[in-house]
Structures are given as C-alpha cells and as structure tokens.
Amino acid sequence: MPKQVEDFERKKGLAVFLSLIFIGMFTIGVYDTWRLLTLLRDIDLTPFYFILSLDGVLLLILSPCILMLMYIVLRRHFGNLPERHFEFWAIMTLVLLPCAVVVRIGLGFWVTNYVAAKGFTPCSELTSTSRSTAKVWVRYPEYCHPESYRVKNEVRDWFDEQQAAGAKPSNDEVIAQIELLIAEHKQRYQ
C-alpha cells in the first residue's frame, strides 16, 4: 500500500475514533441530564434515596469546546488550520468555559436547596469517596447511619431492591436493616 494511502487511512481512523469519543461523551451528557430532570420532576415519588449528579449538564455545556479540540486535532493532521476558524473556536471556548462554571455552581446551589426543601438529606456515609462522585441523598437523616460507610454498597443495593419491589418499610425497619448489615459486616471482618 502506498505511503499516502496508508497515511490517509491512519488519519481517517483518528477522525472516526475522535468522533466516537465525542458522540459517547455527548450521549452520556444527554442521558445524565435527562435522568436529572426526571429525578427532579418525580422527586416526591422517591421513597428512600437517590444519587444526584450534575456532570451531564456540564458535559452538554462543554461539548462545543470538546468539538473544537477535536476539530483542531483533525485539521492539524489533515492540513492547515485556517486562522479564522481557530479564532472563532477560541472565542467560543473563552465564553463557554466561564458559562459552564457559573451554570454548574448555580445549578448545584439550586438543586441542593430544591432537594433539601423536598425533605431529603445528603448522606456522605453512603456516597463514594471520590470527589467527582455523585451525592447520595436519603429521605430521612436516620437512614444515614454513622457507620453505614462500611456497608454503603449493601445499603444502596437493599434500597434499590425495596424501591424496585414497591415496598415501603417503616423508618424503624430501614434503620434495623442498616444496623443488621453493619453488624454482619463487623462479624465478617473482625
């Protein structure tokens, strides 16, 4: 295969790869934003807990910036990058980045206040330790047992099972289940 054809095929593969990455990121952003809006609309129907993430909104706002980076990489590999195109994308990025930060911070405050007004409490014991992880919110503060961090996955799985089955155990039953999971964990690992 001639060198030019091989080089073009490599560049075409890069274009397809970058396009798939962008489509994947954009799809995740749309899906996460849709889940957030659905959750906020139906929040009164949530009996135990939910996991709240605002990262999808951020991905949607920043998608033109990501597209710009892909465009620059592709133009660099396929030929020269016209100056006016670069200036346009650079200005768009300089506008979108501060907008994304402001929208994310503002949305974070608004959603936190809205969810708290609907009777939910953030539970750091059930939230994963990663900084970028979505927050877990529980219906009642008692569901956030001080030692539930030891069995956070088991507690969330049990909450999911109860919600899927349409069960509505009392607060005492939920607290008893959490304490049972903690006791089983202590017995297993001590």
Output the pLDDT for position 85: 72
| Confidence at residue 3, expressed as pLDDT on a 0 to 100 scale | 67
- How high is the mean pLDDT in each 10-residue block of the chain (190 residues)? 66 78 87 90 83 84 80 73 74 84 88 90 79 78 81 86 82 85 83
Domain edges within the chain = 3-118
> Which pLDDT value is given to residue 91?
85
C-beta of residue 132 within 8 angstroms of C-beta of residue 155: no
pLDDT of 160: 86
Give the pLDDT of residue 95.
Answer: 85
CA dihedral sign of residues 26, 157, 145, 35? positive
Nearest to 148 by CA among 189, 175, 182: 182
pLDDT for the residue numbered 88: 81
pLDDT of residue 131: 60
The pLDDT, as a whole number, for residue 130 is 66
Tokens for 45? Answer: 């129907």
Q: In whole angstroms, what is the distance from residue 122 CA to residue 165 CA?
A: 24
Answer for the pair 30, 56: CB distance below 8 angstroms, yes or no: yes
